[in-house]
Chain A
Amino acid sequence: MTDAAIKAPAASRQWDRERLAALAFTTPALAVLIVFFAIPLALLFAGSFTGPNGLSLAAYERLLGTRYYLWTIWNSLRLALFTTFFALLIGYPASFALARARGVLRSALLATLFLPLAASVIVKAFAWTILLRTDGIVNRILVGLHIVSTPIRMIFTETALIVGAVNIFLPFMILPIYAVVAQLDRRLPEAAATLGASPVTAFLKVTLPMTMQGIIAGVALVFSLSVSAYVVPTLLIGERYPTLAQTIAKAFLLAQEPAFGAAAGVALLVIAFATVTISSRLSRAAGTK
């Protein structure tokens, strides 16, 4: 956006008016973001560098120098990687099904996908704990069908965590991919076929590169949502799998260590920022290739 503004001919009065209008429209949002996001963020950032005797790197030394906290960072990344991977695996074909469906089927699919967004993440995570507990419906079905003889432990396992996280974050993978797939000219794979491309080649050389921007957007969204997830790991796995988000909450709410919590928050912010930067770079590369 800034690039375009710089390149625009300065003499163009039309453009100036458009730029003014754009500025006027963005000002309210900008003001809200500055007051409620940028300033608190700056305070948090400053706070992470304070110790008992003023300026200090102690919080970062503790975060990055303790095995336990490195493990929580790794847990967060691991949760995000698995969730993103499975969400992509399920969401990519689902986006095509959604884009190709017509009539009632399409409405039904869209409702199935987007209605759960109206429910709170706490409700959904809690629902999974009910489904997956030892005397829950999943275990009863498995036992009833004689697939297993005794209920298996599902809740408070990493599998339960990933299943729940994928379920909850899936719409954020499907939405951006669906947006791209719905715009795709169905003649493109056909054109590739008539030029000698087998269905697999046509997918790899045409469909995949053309949907790459949607994939990147979906991956970035789901990754940044799941790396910072708090409710989902707390309810579905708990203490056995501490994540960065839980560390932050504990530092502020229980341990009363705001500097340490701020440092953990900055670490999470760095991960999120890196995700956004890398994905927008990749997206631009995919767009101009």
Chain B
Amino acid sequence: MNAAPSSSPHLAVRQVAKRYGAATVLDGIDLIIARGELVTLLGPSGCGKTTLLRIVAGLVNPDGGSIELAGRNVTNVPPHKRRVGVVFQSYALFPHLTVAGNVAFGLKLQKLPRDVIEEKVARALSLVQLGHLGSRLITALSGGQQQRVALARALAVEPEVMLFDEALSALDRKLREDMQGELRRLLTDIGATAIFVTHDQDEALTMSDRIAVMNKGRIEQLADPVTVYSRPASLFALSFVGLSTQIPGTVSEASGGTVKVDTEAGPMIANGHFAVGSPVIVGVRPEHVRPKNLNPSNDTDNAITGQVRTTTFHGSRVRLDVMAKRILVSAELSNLNTALPQVGETITLSWPAAETFAYPAPPTTATGAAS
């Protein structure tokens, strides 16, 4: 089953909608996933990501739309006939069964011969490196081990898609980072198709082939991690993934996908299609912002001058926060060879227009910036 990611849709979510009373939880979600692809639904709590995952699993019925899995319309198929594997945040292991009993649960329901079940249980447990713990009770395991049992249990029945509902969030940081790498390798090796639900951007960036950034029941951006990070499709995507500086302003010139924006800190050049006069937010990632004397290129389209507020040491990099008028601009420097500016010092920061993006200003921010 070492299928490479192909373009044929393995899982197709079409126009899925869900309302709870007056609240719209999901609003016309479309998501096409190829076999072998690892996709993350990333967003804050309440954005609908878990509801979407539960709809794919069949644990929640959508109000509208359809779900196709492996060429079969499963919209009205109950979960036990869907062939989906779910790893829950609480793991939901059966405490009255042993480790092997948990992993064998789904296989026994398939009425497989005993020796086949034993072989599959052993294989699933060795896949998650728990081959030696089969006879243990669930309650005798650590959180990380329980996580692996939940994974082995879901994998053992060879589901069409693996669904992870905040599955790593209960682990401590070091273990979580180890598990991220290990899980990605394992899923890629067996050619599994998987959807992760998380609010952890690092998890999304490291684990996925594609990320769906979700907000208020919609997918705001669906792209590979590099694109999501470096070309955020919306102000929300820019804000939710990674750090950014955001400067409100008004478009004063516009031509061919580039706009000039008047801001309190001076004019800025940014990417974006807007009419002259539109209120916008200009955004840039801190790693593109440099003190002017350090800027490697001559591309210094955008610049501001202000006072250094704080310098924060992060080991491999240093963060510089500069206050220009009422605007706080962050720069992240990895080059430690040059002496750092002192707090209170007046410096000029600059960054290329190619890394600057303009987004429509949300109504409240626009009035706030005008004052």
Q: In the complex, what distance in Å separates the CA atom of A289 from the CA atom of B101? A: 11
Contact B96 A210 (CB under 8 A): yes
Stretch at the interface among A68-76, A147-155, A189-197, A250-258: A189-197
Task: List the B side residues contacting A205 at CB < 8 Å.
Answer: 105
Task: List the A side residues contacting B110 at CB < 8 Å.
Answer: 196
Give the distance to chain A from B76, nearest Cβ to Cβ, in Å: 15
* A195-219 residues at the B interface, CB under 8 angstroms: 195-199, 201-202, 205-206, 209-210
Which residue on A lies nearest to B83, using beta carbons? A196
Q: In the complex, what distance in Å separates the CA atom of A105 from the CA atom of B217? A: 30
**CB-contact partner of A289 in B84, B96, B109, under 8 A:** B96
Q: Is the interface of B mostly helix, strand, loop or mixed?
A: loop
Q: In the complex, what distance in Å separates the CA atom of A128 from the CA atom of B81? A: 50
Residue B78 interfacial (CB < 8 Å) = yes
Q: In the complex, what distance in Å separates the CA atom of A202 from the CA atom of B88? A: 17
Q: Is the interface of A mostly helix, strand, loop or mixed?
A: helix
Interface size class, chain A: 20 to 34
Give the distance to chain A from B345, nearest Cβ to Cβ, in Å: 55
Give the distance to chain A from B171, nearest Cβ to Cβ, in Å: 17
**CB-contact partner of A194 in B79, B93, B96, B97, under 8 A:** B79
Residue A3 interfacial (CB < 8 Å) = no
Which residue on A lies nearest to B103, using beta carbons? A195
Which residue on B lies nearest to A205, using beta carbons? B105
Contact B153 A195 (CB under 8 A): yes
Contact B78 A197 (CB under 8 A): no
Task: List the A side residues contacting B59 at CB < 8 Å.
Answer: 190, 193-194
Contact B95 A194 (CB under 8 A): no
Contact B57 A194 (CB under 8 A): yes
B contacts with A, residue count (CB < 8 A): 27
Contact string against A for B residues 50-90, beta-carbon threshold 8 Å, 1 for contact and 0 otherwise: 00000001110000000000000000001111101110101
Which residue on B lies nearest to A209, using beta carbons? B96
Contact A191 B95 (CB under 8 A): no
Q: In the complex, what distance in Å separates the CA atom of A220 from the CA atom of B58? A: 39
Task: List the A side residues contacting B96 at CB < 8 Å.
Answer: 209-210, 286, 289
Q: In the complex, what distance in Å separates the CA atom of A206 from the CA atom of B109? A: 13
29 examples of A-B residue contacts, CB within 8 angstroms: A185-B90, A187-B90, A188-B94, A190-B59, A190-B79, A190-B86, A190-B88, A190-B92, A191-B86, A192-B94, A193-B58, A193-B59, A193-B80, A194-B57, A194-B80, A194-B85, A194-B159, A195-B85, A195-B153, A195-B157, A196-B80, A196-B106, A196-B109, A197-B105, A197-B106, A199-B80, A202-B80, A206-B94, A210-B96
By a beta-carbon cutoff of 8 Å, the part of chain B in contact with chain A is 57-59, 78-82, 84-86, 88, 90, 92-97, 105-106, 109-110, 153-154, 157, 159
By a beta-carbon cutoff of 8 Å, the part of chain A in contact with chain B is 185, 187-188, 190-199, 201-202, 205-206, 209-210, 286, 289
